Structure 1
Amino acid sequence: MKTITSALALGLIASPALAAKGPFFSLANTDFIVLIAFILFIGVLVYFKVPGMLSKMLDDRSSGIQSELDEARALRDEAQTLLASYERKHKEVQDQADRIVAQAKADAEAAADQARSDLERSIERRIASAEDQIASAQAGAIKEVRDQAIVVAVAAAREVIAEQMTAADANKLVDDAISQVDAKLH
């Protein structure tokens, strides 16, 4: 080990002016020193099991990436499931909203039709009531005219009878009326 460290120290001390002088297998040849240093470096790496550690680190990193990819796939699948669920719910809500709007339109049309028919019946009742009031007023006017005509006729008849009737005729009429009443009551 001491020789390795001294060789490394000599390799570091070597100057570029001494580069590649002399035979290849000599400590004066920089190519040979670099080759020995490289072999020693590889030996140290193998001795401390650095390739195994690197391999283990790469495997761990690979398995970590794989687990992250699996988790990402699972999250993506879950997100797609949720998206499909929300889209389905959105479609259902939209369909329900369309049905509610259609039902509201139908209800509004039915209410408008009902209001029209109620208005028509109300107008018909008012027209009938007005016609009844007119007929009643007409009947009242006719009755009033008849009553007035009767009063006028009775007054005229009284005057005519009073002028043409004598006391004997009046007594005879009274006696006839009493006899008729007596005959009708018994």
Structure 2
Amino acid sequence: MSNTPPPEVFATEPAEAFVEEGHGGAPVHSEPELFGLAPFQWVSIAMLLLLLIAFLGAKVHRIIGRGLDDRIAAIRSQLDEAKALRHEAETLRDEYKRRIAAAEKDAETTLANARTEADKIRAQAETDSAAMIERRKRMAEDTIAAAEREAVQDVRNRAAMAATAASRKLIAEKHDAQADKVLADQMIASL
């Protein structure tokens, strides 16, 4: 053991006990009182209050417990509802993601089809334009050829008319009525 001195205890003055002189000359120790009640009475009152609190507190505890249970059930139902709403929202989100992806795919397909169709239409238009140009060229050539034929025919007709007129004039100058009669008789005989 170590040689440490014991702790110093401060001395206090001893409490004075109130002592009354009893009937037989012996001193009587007087108990402390509060509001005229002795300590054992205060203990009895405290125990009574404790029992009342325990008895009434059990009912309060049940009421509080029931209220807490109801609150817990309400919170659980709200959590379940929130979970269901979250699941529904996730389902809707996934569905809309699928719809958006499908719409984008449809848009890409539609765009590709439109480009293909536009290429076909352009190629067809080029083909049709070339065919129409060729037809118009042929029509112009045919019109020019017809005009040439008409002009040649007109020139021939004019030449024939001029030749006829010239031959008439020549015949009229060189033939007389007698020569015409002989010529007409020869023609009739040959028939």
> Structure 1 residue 119 and structure 2 residue 129: aligned?
yes
User: 2: distance between equivalents of 1:27 and 1:135?
Assistant: 151
Equivalent residue, structure 2, for 1:87: 97
Q: Percent identity?
A: 35
Letter aligned with residue 182 of structure 2 = K
Post-superposition offset of 1:85: 1.7
Q: Which has the higher contact order (CA 8 A, sep 6+)?
A: 1
Q: What does residue range 21-170 of structure 1 map to in structure 2 within 5 Å?
A: 43-48=51-56, 49=58, 50-165=60-175, 169-170=179-180
Distance 2:184 2:122 in 1: 74
Q: Give the whole-Å Cα distance in 1 for the aligned partners of 2:135 and 2:102.
A: 48
Deviations 1:1-27 (A, max 9, x none): xxxxxxxxxxxxxxxxxxxx99xx966
Instruction: Output one character per residue of 1:99-155: Cα deviation in whole Å (capped at 9) or x when no partner.
Output: 333333333333333333333333332222222211111111111111111122223
Equivalent of 2:184, from 165, 174, 180? 174
Distance 1:118 1:162, change over 3 A: same
Distance 2:104 2:113 in 1: 14
Runs of 5+ consecutive residues of structure 2 not aligned to the other structure: 1-14, 17-30
Letter in 2 for 1:177: M
* CA displacement at 1:159 relative to structure 2: 3.5
Amino acid at match of 2:53: L
Question: How many angstroms apart in 1 are the aligned matches of 2:49 and 2:123?
Answer: 100
Structure 1 residue 84: Cα displacement: 1.4
- By percentage of residues, which structure has more helix? 1
Identify if the C-alpha distance between structure 1 residues 52 and 45 changes in structure 2 by more than 3 Å, giving closer, same or farther: farther
Shift of 1:76: 0.9
Aligned residues: 155
Alpha carbons of 1:115 and 1:144: their partners in 2 closer, same or farther (altered >3 Å)? Answer: same
- TM-score of the two chains, using structure 1 as the length reference: 0.63
Higher radius of gyration, 1 or 2: 2
Q: Gaps spanning 5+ residues in structure 1: where?
A: 1-20
Q: Which amino acid aligns with 1:138?
A: E
What TM-score do you get using the length of structure 2 for normalisation?
0.61
For 1:101, give the aligned amino acid: L
Deviations along 1:36-78, one digit per CA (max 9) or x if unpaired, are 6987765443211134444443333333322222221111111
